[in-house]
């Protein structure tokens, strides 16, 4: 690994080495400074986040305290009301039960109902006298209390209230619970307490007030910042009243343990960690709700980006600002060497007039002077030897080209054409003319890029000549849209496939064959389809075509698989991956070649 790093560094330019080693020394120092800043920012942000959660918990507690006090004060007003106590202590319950409007006439139930309507979140109230008087029950949310006091006495909440001797207790009563309600239409937080005569040490009545749980949940929602946080509300006795958000049961068990619930509210820790959670707790007084918020430890990871922003920005800013300084310093040293390297590159490509201006007397100046002298010596050597030999070779090549000048071929074919015309052999004359045109198109001016119309003409002339060979066994049709006639394409990208179809597809077919060539615009592409009804190919033969493999039978031919591979390579060179070339064939059924090239690339409007 170290060897590879050393090799990479050795391959760098002088300028890059200066910059690299400068950063290698400076960067660790900056990283240490940034790390210290990050640590300080992290501690500050962590404490700020803890304080924020504690404030949120206390805010929830304050809102819940208002609701709790409203319900507690309401129950206390009933507890001490003279008219209510008079009914609860009556010695003639049988006579009193004869009046169906007993509570309406003898107790301030209208005031109770008005208070419930005013508060809104108080949904139900029930007073069960212990002396046998019929209970008072009122529900404004279509719920219904149990009417049998014996069933009420069988509940755990009743026994707890009697044992509490007037102390208020809270309990979560879920919807459809059959404990103190016959029918419960919604989740409720219920206050229950025994109206107790402390002087006589006698229970007088059982009071139950039901409140809408949703109002407590809505208060908890305001303290949730992320989806993975949760709020848990416990009664002073540790019973779960409200939960909202993501709650971990292991943390709930810990919070409901005797160690936590039994702790003095004045000594309750506002922030502890338990398992994978930060737990924030608050309890204002002995009888107040215990408000707990659970926040996963990993939630602080989302703050790292903001915490690290300032040190990172400082680091990047300093490193970025250092780069121009290092480039300026390194440029003073590396610029002369760069000029020598540039001159060497031009000299390598054949420019033998390169000379580097020498401005310094140091080692770099000596290298430049040696280079200038070397260029002069090599130039002289080339002039005296290589150029003379090259000129002799060029003379020989020009003589050879003169022997095969295409004009000689064209003139010969023209002479044969007119001889056939004069002899009255029109068919041979047309074939000679087609061959002459074919050579002109193939050899014409050495162009590598031609129009679609020129390629169409080339194919037409070629097929006319081949039809002379195959007579009635070959028939063809060429359909090229006029609008793509002026589009430019690489030369000879269609003709090789036409030639393959004739030579390999039709030659050994032993039957009449048909060839179609189509070209048209398709979206942002131009599509060409060359389809024949020849002998077809197997999948293995198609694969050999793409590999450029040639059988012994085909090795003497100038077209075929090498030509197809050459077409694909030229398309790849011009259009990169923005083209398609597909060959589909089935033995005995013919071959279909589909080619797509970019429309914009070839200048079609």
Specify which of 488-502, 520-534, 565-579 reaches the highest per-range mean pLDDT. 520-534
Token duo for residue 222? 């305001």
Task: Give 193 or 199, the one with higher predicted confidence.
Answer: 193
Instruction: Check: CB of residue 584 under 8 Å from CB of residue 520.
Output: no
Helix (H) / strand (E) element for 514: namely strand 513-522
Token duo for residue 345? 């590159």
**Cβ count near 537 (within 10 Å):** 21
Lowest mean pLDDT across 11-20, 270-279, 305-314, 425-434: 425-434
DSSP annotation string for 278-321 = EEEEE--STTS-EEEEEEEGGGGGGGHHHHHHHHHHHHHHHHHH
Give 102-141 pLDDT, tens digit per residue. Answer: 898 888 989 888 998 898 899 999 999 999 899 999 999 8
Helix (H) / strand (E) element for 541: namely helix 539-547
Share of the chain above pLDDT 70, in %: 78
Task: State how far the Cα of 155 lies from the Cα of 165, in Å rounded to an integer.
Answer: 16
Cα distances (angstroms) measured from residue 313 to each of 27, 40, 279, 320: 14, 15, 33, 10
Strands (E), 326-455: 449-451
Task: Give 422 or 135, the one with higher predicted confidence.
Answer: 135
Whether 594 has a pLDDT exceeding 90, the answer reads yes
pTM of structure: 0.50
Cα 277-282-284 angle, rounded to 5 deg:
175
Q: What's residue 127's pLDDT? A: 94
Q: What's residue 404's pLDDT? A: 42
Confidence of residue 434 (pLDDT cuts 50, 70, 90): low
Helices (H), 80-166: 82-88, 93-96, 102-106, 109-119, 149-153, 156-164
Give 235-250 pLDDT, tens digit per residue. Answer: 998 899 999 999 999 9
Q: What's residue 16's pLDDT? A: 76
Token duo for residue 496? 């090789």
Task: State how far the Cα of 349 lies from the Cα of 347, in Å rounded to an integer.
Answer: 5
Task: State how far the Cα of 279 lies from the Cα of 263, in Å rounded to an integer.
Answer: 16
Lowest mean pLDDT across 166-175, 181-190, 319-328, 531-540: 319-328
Lowest mean pLDDT across 50-64, 279-293, 403-417: 403-417
Instruction: Check: CB of residue 489 under 8 Å from CB of residue 449.
Output: yes
Cα 65-67-73 angle, rounded to 5 deg:
95
Task: Give 502 or 522, the one with higher predicted confidence.
Answer: 522
């Amino acid at each position: 690994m170290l060897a590879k790093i050393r090799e990479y560094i050795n391959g760098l330019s002088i300028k890059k080495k200066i910059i690299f080693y400068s950063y290698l020394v400076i960067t660790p120092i900056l990283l240490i400074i940034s790390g210290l800043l990050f640590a300080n920012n992290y501690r500050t942000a962590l404490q700020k986040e803890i304080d924020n959660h504690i404030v949120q918990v206390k805010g929830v507690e304050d809102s819940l305290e208002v609701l709790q006090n409203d319900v507690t004060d309401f129950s206390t007003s009933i507890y001490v009301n003279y008219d209510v106590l008079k009914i609860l202590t009556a010695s003639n319950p049988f006579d009193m039960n004869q009046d169906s409007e007993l509570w309406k006439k003898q107790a301030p139930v209208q005031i109770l109902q008005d208070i419930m309507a005013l508060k809104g979140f108080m949904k139900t109230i029930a007073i069960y006298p212990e002396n046998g008087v019929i209970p008072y029950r009122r529900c404004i949310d279509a719920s219904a209390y149990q009417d049998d006091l014996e069933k009420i006495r069988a509940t755990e909440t009743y026994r707890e209230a009697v044992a509490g001797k007037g102390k208020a207790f809270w309990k979560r009563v879920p919807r459809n619970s059959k404990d103190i309600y016959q029918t419960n239409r919604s989740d409720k937080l219920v206050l229950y307490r025994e109206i107790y005569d402390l002087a006589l040490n006698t229970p007088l009545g059982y009071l139950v007030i039901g409140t809408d749980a949703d109002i407590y949940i809505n208060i908890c929602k305001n303290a949730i910042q992320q989806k993975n946080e949760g709020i848990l509300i416990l009664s002073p006795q540790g019973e779960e009243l409200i939960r909202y958000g993501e709650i971990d049961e292991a943390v709930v068990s810990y919070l409901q343990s005797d160690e936590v619930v039994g702790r003095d509210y004045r000594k309750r820790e506002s922030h502890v960690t338990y398992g994978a959670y930060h737990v924030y707790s608050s309890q204002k007084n002995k009888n107040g709700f215990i408000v707990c918020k659970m926040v996963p430890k990993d939630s602080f990871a989302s703050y790292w980006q903001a915490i690290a922003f300032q040190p990172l920005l400082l680091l990047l800013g300093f490193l970025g600002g250092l780069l121009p300084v290092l480039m300026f310093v390194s440029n003073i040293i590396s610029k002369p060497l760069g000029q020598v390297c540039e001159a060497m590159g031009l000299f390598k490509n054949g420019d033998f007039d390169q000379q580097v201006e020498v401005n310094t007397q140091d080692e770099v100046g000596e290298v430049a002077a040696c280079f200038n002298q070397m260029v002069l010596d090599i130039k002289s050597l080339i002039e005296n030897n290589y150029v003379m030999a090259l000129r002799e070779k060029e003379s020989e090549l020009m003589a050879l080209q003169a022997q095969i000048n295409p004009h000689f071929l064209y003139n010969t074919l023209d002479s044969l054409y007119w001889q056939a015309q004069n002899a009255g052999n029109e068919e041979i004359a047309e074939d000679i003319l087609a061959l002459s045109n074919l050579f002109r198109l193939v050899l014409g001016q050495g162009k590598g890029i031609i129009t679609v119309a020129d390629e169409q003409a080339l194919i037409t002339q070629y097929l006319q000549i081949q039809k002379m060979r195959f007579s009635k066994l070959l028939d063809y049709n060429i359909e090229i849209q006029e609008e793509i006639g002026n589009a430019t394409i690489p030369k000879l990208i269609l003709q090789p496939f036409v030639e393959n179809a004739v030579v390999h597809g039709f030659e050994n077919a032993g039957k009449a064959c048909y060839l179609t060539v189509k070209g048209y615009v398709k979206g942002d592409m131009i599509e060409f389809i060359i389809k024949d009804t020849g002998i077809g190919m197997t999948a293995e033969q198609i694969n050999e075509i793409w590999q450029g493999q040639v059988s012994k039978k085909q090795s003497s031919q100038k077209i075929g698989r090498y030509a197809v591979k050459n077409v694909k390579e030229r398309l790849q060179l011009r259009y990169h991956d923005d083209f398609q070339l597909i060959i589909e064939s089935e033995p005995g059924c013919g071959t279909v070649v589909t080619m797509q090239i970019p429309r914009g690339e070839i200048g079609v409007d």
